[in-house]
Amino acid sequence: MRQMDILDLTIVQLHEGFKKKQFTSVEVTKEYLGQIKKTDSKIHAFLTVTENLALEQAKKADEIIASGNDFPLLCGIPCSIKDAILVQGEKATAGSKMLENYVAPYDATVIKRLKEQGAVILGKTNLDEFAMGVSTENSAFKVTKNPHDLTKVSGGSSGGSAASVASKQAVFSLASDTGGSIRLPASFCGVVGLNPTYGAVSRHGLIAMASSLDQIGPIAKTIEDAKIVFDVISGKDSMDSTSADYKFETKEVSLKDLKIGVPKEYFAEGLDPQVEKIIKEAIKKAEDAGAKIVPISLSMTNYAIACYYIIVPSEVSANLARFDGIKYGKSQQDAPNLLDVYLKSRGVGFGVEPKRRILIGTYALSSGYYDAYYKKAQEIKELIKQDFAQSFEKVDVIFSPVSPIPAFNIGEKSSDPLAMYLMDIYTCPLKLAGLPALSIPAGRIGKLPVGLQIIGNYFEENTILSVASQLEKMLL
Ligand code: GLN
C-alpha cells in the first residue's frame, strides 16, 4: 500500500489491515514518523517526538498481532498526546517554561488505558500555556499553524493535537477541554473533537488548569474513531474521585423524530454570517433527514463568559500555587531567601496569560471580594445549568456553531485578551453545566473548515456521536 493511503486510514481500516497482514504497526508507525519529519517544520504541532517509545510500542503491538489471537482496536495505532497529559519517562511541559524540563514520573490513567490496548505514542503536542487560550499563541515554545492555511492559527488550547490529526501526523490525539480546548481547534482544523461529560474520563495525570471543568477527550479523523477512543479512556478510576461509574454503550439513535434544539442566543450579534450559513445548512440537512427543529432559548448565555472568567482564574490561582520553584519545575536559586526563590521562579517560569489569571483569581477569591465575584459566579453557574436542564426537557440534542468565526490570522488577537476570551462564547457555557459536546466538520469558508457543535445531556455521548455519524455522511 502506498504511503498516502496508509496515512489516510481510520482506526478500523488500520485494524483490518493489520489482521490481513497488509502492513505491520512498525511500518505504519514509520510512515507517521516520516510524515512528522516532513511536515512539522511548517506546522509546529509537536513539542516532543517520542520516536524510540513509538517504535518499541509498535514492535510489541506487532508481536501481539502476530500471535494470531483477537487484538484490541487500538493495538498498533499511532497517536499523539497533548503535552499536559503525563506519559511516564517523557517530558510534560504543559506549554510552559515552568515545566520545560519536567519528566513525567508516571502515566496518566488515560495513557495507561491506551498502553493496555497496545496503542503507539508518537509524541507530545503543543498547547497554550497550561491550556489557557484559543490559538496556541500562548505556548511558551511555538505557535502551531493551521494545516489548511499556514497564516492562520490552529485553535487552542489543544492546537497541536488538532493540527497533528488534520495534517496526518497522527491517527488520533488525546487532548483536554476546560472551556472549548478540544472543540475549537477541532473546528478550526476540520477534524472531530469530543468533550465528554464532566466525570466521564479520569483526569489523573492531567496537569490541572480548572479542576471543576477540565476533561480529557479524543480528537480524531472520524466520529467512529472518536467513539473507539472514548470507549477505551472512559469509566471509573479510583485515582480520580470525580470520575463516574459509567459504561459507555453504543446504540444507534436515529435522526428521524429526533428533537434538535437551536438556541436563539447562539445565532445573534457577533456570529460571522458565513459561519451562520454553514451551521444553518447543517441544521436543514438534519431536518430533511426527519429531525424536528425546536427553537429554544438559553437566556443566561450573555453571562457565561464573565462567569467562566471568574471561576477559571480562581481555580488557576489555586492549582498553579504548587509551582513554587521548590516542588516542581523551574527553580531560580540565585535568591537571598526562600520567598525570593518563590517569587523569582514564578516570575521567570510563568508567561503573561497564567500571570494574568493568577492575579484575577487571587483577587476574586480574596476576603471582601469573594462574595462579589467567586460566589456570584457560582450562583450564575447554577442558573446556566438550569437553562440547559430546562432545554433538555424539550429536546434531545442542541446544535450550534463551535466558534463565531473561522480560524483567524496569527498575531491578530495576541494583544487583546478579551477578544480571545470571547471566542469561547459557544463552547464554555455547557462546560459550566458539565455537559458533553462535540465538534464535527460542517463546511468551509474558502480553505478554512467550520465545525458544527452538537451538545448532549449528561452521559449522552452515545446520542451525540450517533447523531454526528449520520450527519457526517451528509455534510461531506
Ligand atoms: N479558551 C479557554 C480558556 O482559555 C478554554 C481553554 C481550555 O479549554 N483549556 O480558558
**Percent of the chain predicted with pLDDT > 90:** 97
Nearest atom in ligand 1 to the alpha carbon of residue 180 is: 8
| Cα gap 67→279, rounded to integer Å | 48
For the four alpha carbons of 353, 354, 357 and 358, in that order, the dihedral sign comes to negative
Residue 146: CB within 6 Å of ligand 1?
no
Distance 12 CA to ligand 1 centre (A): 31
> Predicted confidence band at 2 (pLDDT cuts at 50, 70, 90)?
low
Rounded to the nearest integer, the mean pLDDT of the chain is: 97
Which pLDDT tens digit goes with each residue over 177-189?
Answer: 999 999 999 999 9
Average pLDDT over residues 75-89: 98
Does the pLDDT of residue 176 top 60, yes or no? yes
Average pLDDT over residues 399-405: 98
Does the pLDDT of residue 4 top 80, yes or no? no
Q: Which pLDDT value is given to residue 22? A: 96
Average pLDDT over residues 404-422: 97
Distance 120 CA to ligand 1 centre (A): 28
Query: Under DSSP, is residue 467 helix (H, G, I), strand (E, B) or coil?
Result: helix
Residue 182: CB within 6 Å of ligand 1?
no
Does the pLDDT of residue 81 top 80, yes or no? yes
Q: Which pLDDT value is given to residue 278? A: 98
Which pLDDT tens digit goes with each residue over 341-372?
Answer: 999 999 999 999 999 999 999 999 999 999 99
Nearest atom in ligand 1 to the alpha carbon of residue 421 is: 1
Residue 117: CB within 6 Å of ligand 1?
no
2/199: higher pLDDT? 199
> Among 60-64, 165-169, 254-258, 277-281, which stretch is predicted with the lowest mean pLDDT?
254-258
Query: 270-273: which pairs have CB atoms within 8 A and are 24 or more residues apart?
Result: 270/404, 270/422, 270/425, 271/401, 271/404, 272/404, 272/405, 272/406, 272/445
CATH of domain 1-476: 3.90.1300.10
Mark whether 181 is an active-site residue: yes
| Cα gap 438→223, rounded to integer Å | 9
Which pLDDT tens digit goes with each residue over 13-42?
Answer: 999 999 999 999 999 999 999 999 999 999
Residue 178: CB within 6 Å of ligand 1?
yes
Q: Which pLDDT value is given to residue 69? A: 80
Q: Which pLDDT value is given to residue 243? A: 97
Distance 117 CA to ligand 1 centre (A): 30
Nearest atom in ligand 1 to the alpha carbon of residue 353 is: 4
Q: Which residue has the cell 490525539?
A: 173
Domain ranges in the chain?
1-476
Distance 309 CA to ligand 1 centre (A): 10
Mark whether 391 is an active-site residue: no
What grid cell was written down for 195? 468533550
Does the pLDDT of residue 49 top 70, yes or no? yes
Distance 28 CA to ligand 1 centre (A): 33
> Predicted confidence band at 283 (pLDDT cuts at 50, 70, 90)?
very high
* Residue 157 preceded by cis peptide, ω within 30: yes
Residue nearest to atom 5 of ligand 1 (CA): 179
Q: Which pLDDT value is given to residue 68? A: 81
Of 181, 187, 345, 469, the catalytic one is 181
